[in-house]
Amino acid sequence: MRAREIMTASPACCTPESTAYEAARLMAECDCGVVPVVESTESMRLVGVVTDRDLAVRGLAQGKGADAKVRALMTSDPFCCRPDDNVRDVERAMAERQVRRVPVVDEDNRCVGIIAQADLARAARAGHRVSEQEVARVVESISEPSSRTGGGETAGRQPEARL
């Protein structure tokens, strides 16, 4: 099974110049905990992600308000995968890197989708060659205590760290 088969296609995105309020509103409207950050809505080139945790920890906890720019809150250069990557490889990477969501980018680094834990669970429930045991293993690994401090769930990821 390939990433494109389970990803949420064309996710709502914001830009580095968007505000924390705008990102939070998108999360509320789309019922999600992450918004890909793109260079511009025309290019759709991924430059980062902003999570609900980023808004809380890098924003509110640091005294930043609703007008703070996403640029100051986002995780730059998050770990990504490609549409044709094997879902098992994506699962393994999510577990190893302890991330709950992985942006899916094309060969030009344009954001074309996102894979979340929920997408893995839906694929397992639908019998799409993803077992419930695999999903449980990913969730367990992601939930392990981490030595990281502060920042979002994708802190410290490098753009070269593709599958």
pTM assigned to the model: 0.79
CA angle 43–46–52, rounded 5-degree value: 125
Domain 3-143 belongs to what architecture?
Roll (3.10)
Q: What is the pLDDT of residues 60-108, one digit of tens each?
A: 999 999 999 999 999 998 999 999 999 999 999 999 999 999 999 999 9
Residues in Cβ contact with 51 at an 8 Å cutoff, skipping those fewer than 6 apart:
33, 34, 35, 75, 101, 152, 153, 154
114 vs 158, residue with greater confidence? 114
Q: What are the residue ranges spanned by the domains of the chain? A: 3-143
Query: pLDDT-derived band of residue 126, with 50, 70 and 90 as boundaries?
Result: low
Encoding tokens for residue 129? 């060659």
* Cα separation, 69 vs 64, whole angstroms: 9
